[in-house]
Each structure stands twice: as structure tokens, then as C-alpha cells.
Chain A
Amino acid sequence: MTDTTLAHSDSHDHHPTGLARWLFTTNHKEIGTLYLVFSLVMFLVGGAMALVIRAELFAPGLHLVNPEFFNQMTTMHALVMIFAAVMPAFVGLANWMVPLMIGAPDMALPRMNNWSFWIMPFAFTLLLSTLFMPSGGPASGWTLYPPLSLQGGNSLAFVILAIHLMGISSIMGSINIIATILNMRAPGMTLLRMPMFVWTWLITAFLLIAVMPVLAGAVTMLLTDRFFGTSFFNAAGGGDPVLYQHIFWFFGHPEVYIMILPAFGIVSEIIPTFSRKKLFGYTSMVYATASIAFLSFIVWAHHMFTVGMPLGAALFFMYATMVIAVPTGVKIFNWVSTMWRGSMTFETPMLFALGFVVLFTIGGLSGVMLAIVPADFQYHDTYFVVAHFHYVLVTGAVFAIMASVYYWIPKWTGNMYNETLGKIHFWWSTFWVNVLFFPQHYLGLAGMPRRIPDYAIQFTEFNVISSIGGFAFGLGQLLFVYIVWQCARGGQKATDGVWEGARGLEWTVPSPAPLHTFDTPPDVDHPDYVAHTSGTS
């Protein structure tokens, strides 16, 4: 350890306390914590909405909620989970870890960083407040397809403003991440020496800047169609509702990769640590990530094959979608090769990372099935699609976030989490998440449509199983909250390195990481650092 890392002292720091500390902070670690706590709260809010859905679907017939409220729940569950739970969690992880991983003292634009976060609670208060308005919340699905979304109440205006605010927050966050990575790296930290998590976030930030304005454009047109008499998407006025689908999915498909590329980065950090080997195929991992990002822009119409399109277009989007399996396969191959003949141990972060590799692959394979045009005509808008994207987003993105929390929380708090409880959380979640989502494949293949509060009686058994899985999985996440709370309060003290096989600059700073780190940039070619930054070959 060089004295450059130990030179950070908080003694010069006159930091406000209480609420002002969190309201005015420009420190990347505190803002990272704010994002992560916000994400966890919204994960529980979105989860509660999912349980309303699963409770209603426990038996055929209408039991608990009226159909209108059910539709509001499916819509809000998706909006909250995507924009308020998964995305802020990854931004929080980027805030905490990217400066530490590249040897930067903070994010490049700290005041804008504060603003990026504090927009979020206002945006989602606005969104959730629509549930208490006379017309209720949005009920047309998270995609807000016209004409249905234009036939709802005035709360659509609040929803659109919330989406604009959230988009501004994401764009500012992305600008900050790109400016930080391109300008604030420690001397010697070349692009191809950066940790994979930093690489995946750099590419994700470019995706966000490219597609969030597209979503903003789509919902602006929706707003003027609903309130100002335009007819972009209104067929009666000469508009085209299918145009909205094209614009929305030009945003929507890259959005899927925005939620999974940082997860790939996390898994690429964890598997080498617990295999005690360097990441296999680092350079190919970088190129595969960039390839997936590029391909995400040319596959959007696979979400809307059933609207009808020329055969050539359908073939193009089908084959382009299938091509994504190639760079994704490269990643799976590299993770497996990293583990090959490694000295593996199975602490909780590794278990969640392995769960990710296996279960995300199931979601990827059902994605290839959905890419096949004639098959998609059967699967479209059924529970098969619901099963597919929940394997990608729950056992993919959410499992990776949980893996990252267990992996980095000793660095954040200075305490080890309870390993036994962590393992119970993993096995409980893994078992019940499959009980929850796997039967939904069968429901979809049998023809059960998504977004319905009632269903034909032959779908009862699989729905009962799925609902039981849902409630048990949800219960397990309360254990996760307890483990995090317990770790934040105390426990066995973590060492600076935390994990035996961990490599990277973040492990050279003390645990817990002091408020200010790398005030003097580390020399990554110094012998004390070189072992932590030579993971590229």
C-alpha cells in the first residue's frame, strides 16, 4: 500500500450532518448510497405491486381488485421496477465504484451528480401520486401504447412529466459517468486496463444518451396528441399508432441492454475473484459488450412483429436479433472459461453470479425463441413473454445487483455481512424465483394473455404455483433488507482486500472506504498497484 491511498484524511472536511448532509452532498460515495437506498425502497414498492397482481391471479375470477386497478398495477409495477429500482441501483453502483476503480477522487461533475439523484424522488412521487388521482394511474402498460394511453385520464400528463424528469436524471448521470471515465482515470489506467464494470458502464452511458431523448420525443408527441390536438399517433387525425411503437422500441430495446450490460460487468468482476484467476478473454469481453450495444439499435421491431411488416423487414429483424446471441455467447463462454480449473469458492456474491449465468441464459434462450417470426405470432402478448423478460431482469439484472451488494458492501460499511444468512437468501430466492416464473412459460405456450386480471379455468394450476412462488420470493427479499441493515450497523470487521482473490484499485483503499479517496492519483504502474491493475491479459 502506498502512502498516496492512505493520505486521505477527513480532518479537513467540514461536512454537514443530518438531512443537510444528504441533501447537499456532492460526494460520489454518499450519492451512490442515496441511489442504492432509493432503489431498495422502490424495489419493495414495485414488489408490493407485483404481489397485488399475483394475489389477484391466484384463482380465476375477479376477487381482490377491480380490472382497472389491476391494469394500473401492471403498468406501475413495470415503470417502478425499470426506472426506479433497476436503473438507479446500477447508477448507485457506478457512483460508488467507478471513481474507486479508476483511481479518481470523485465524479467529474459532483454538483450535477447531486442534482441527478434528487430529481428522482420528485419524479417518482409525481408518478406514484397518480394512483390517488380521480382518473387513477396509467393503465395502458409501461409502453404507454396509443390509442389506449390517450383514452385514459388526465394523469397521463403527470406520468409524462415524471418520465421526462427521470430521463433528464439519467442523461445527466450518463454525462457524468462518461466525463469521469474519459477524463479522470489515474495515470497509467489506459482504457484497456479498466475493470470490466467500468467498461460496461461506459458503453451503457452512451446507450442512455442515445435513447433517452428518443423516449422523451415519443412521450412529448403523446402529450401533445392527448392535450394539444395533434395527431401524431391518432388515426382519426391522419396519424399512425404503429409509428409510436417504432419510436418507443427504438428506445425500448437498447433500454433492455442498459439494464443488463452493467450486470455483465458485475459478474465479470465477481467470477474472477472467486475463481482466483484473471478474467478469461478480457478484450473479447469489451468487444462483445460494444457489439451487443450496437446490435441493440437494429432489432427494435422484434417487439412488434404482429403489427405486420414486409417479409424482408421481418427477416432482417429476426436475424439481427439472433445475431445478439453470438456476443452474448462469447460472454457466457468467457465466464465459464474463467472458472475452468480455478480455485473456486462459493461465497454469496459468487452464488448470485453463478445463479445469474445459469438463469439469465434461460432468459436468453427464450429470447431467441421469441425472435423467430412465426413462433412469435404464437407467443406475442402471452405469459411466455412475461416469463422471458422476468428471467432476464429478475434472475439477470436483480441477481447481479444483489451479487454486487454482497461483493462490495464490506468495502462500503467496513463490516462483513452474515454469510450464513446470505447463502440462505440466495438458495431461497433461487428456488422460489423459478417456482414463480418457470410455470409462466407453460401458461404462455397454452395461450394465456398477459395483462389480464381474470383467466380461463384451465390456467388455474400454473397460476396458483406461480403466485405461491411470488409470495415466497417476496418474503425472501425481506431477509435481504435485514442482512443489509445488520451489516450497516456492525459485524465482523472487513479487511481492506476483503476477498482473497479480489483485484482492482477499490481493494487498495481502507474498509470502509473513507469519504475522500485518491486525492492524489495512484500510480497504477507502481509495484503496489500493478497486481491490481494488470487483469487485462
Chain B
Amino acid sequence: MSPAGQSSSPKRRAVLRTAWALVAVAFGIYALFVGRAFWQGGL
């Protein structure tokens, strides 16, 4: 199992899909709390 083979395998793609989805969730929650507060006139 070479690294090159791993990077294109369906499992690798599934791992990356999961990871990016979770990154989006984390940023979304941060934006919900702090972004919305700034938007509503904290400044």
C-alpha cells in the first residue's frame, strides 16, 4: 500500500470528506457566535 495509492483511495477520500465537514462545523459555530455579534453592532 503506497502513500500514492492511499491518497486516492476511497477510504482516503472519505477521511478527507469527514475532516473538512468537521472543519466547516467548527468554523460555522465560531462564526455564529463571534461573527454575528460583530455584525449586530459590537463595534
- Residues of chain A touching chain B, judged by Cβ–Cβ distance below 8 Å, are 108-109, 112, 171, 174-176, 178-179, 182-184, 209-210, 212-214, 216-218, 220-221, 224, 230-232, 239, 247, 519
Contacts and interface: CB of A to CB of B under 8 A. Distances in A.
A213 B23 contact: no
B14 interface: yes
Contact of A183 (B15, B23, B42, B43): B15
A354 B33 CA distance: 41
Nearest to A180: B15
Contacts of B43: 224, 230
B7 to A, nearest CB: 12
B33 A212 contact: no
21 contacts: A108-B15, A108-B19, A112-B19, A175-B18, A175-B19, A175-B26, A176-B19, A178-B22, A179-B18, A183-B11, A183-B14, A183-B15, A183-B18, A184-B15, A209-B25, A216-B30, A217-B30, A230-B43, A232-B37, A232-B42, A519-B1
Interface of A is mostly: helix
B33 A217 contact: yes
Contacts of B25: 209-210
- Shortest 5 CB-CB distances between A and B: which pairs? A217-B33, A213-B30, A217-B34, A213-B29, A108-B15
Contacts of B19: 108-109, 112, 175-176, 179
B43 to A, nearest CB: 6
A265 to B, nearest CB: 20
Contacts of B23: 175
A216 B30 CA distance: 7
A231 B25 CA distance: 27
Contacts of A109: 15, 19
A101 to B, nearest CB: 18
Nearest to A229: B43
A109 B43 CA distance: 39
A217 B37 contact: yes
Nearest to A232: B42
A266 to B, nearest CB: 24
B38 to A, nearest CB: 8
A209 B26 contact: yes
A96 B9 CA distance: 25
A365 B27 CA distance: 37
Contacts of A175: 18-19, 22-23, 26
A224 B42 contact: yes
A174 B34 contact: no
Interface in B1-43: 1, 11, 14-15, 18-19, 22-23, 25-27, 29-30, 32-34, 37, 42-43
B14 A174 contact: no
A167 B27 CA distance: 12
Given A112-B19, A209-B29, A220-B34, 13 more contacts: A108-B18, A109-B19, A175-B26, A179-B19, A182-B14, A183-B11, A183-B14, A209-B26, A214-B29, A214-B30, A217-B33, A231-B42, A247-B33
Given A109-B15, A231-B42, A218 B22 contact: no
B11 A213 contact: no
A232 B30 CA distance: 16
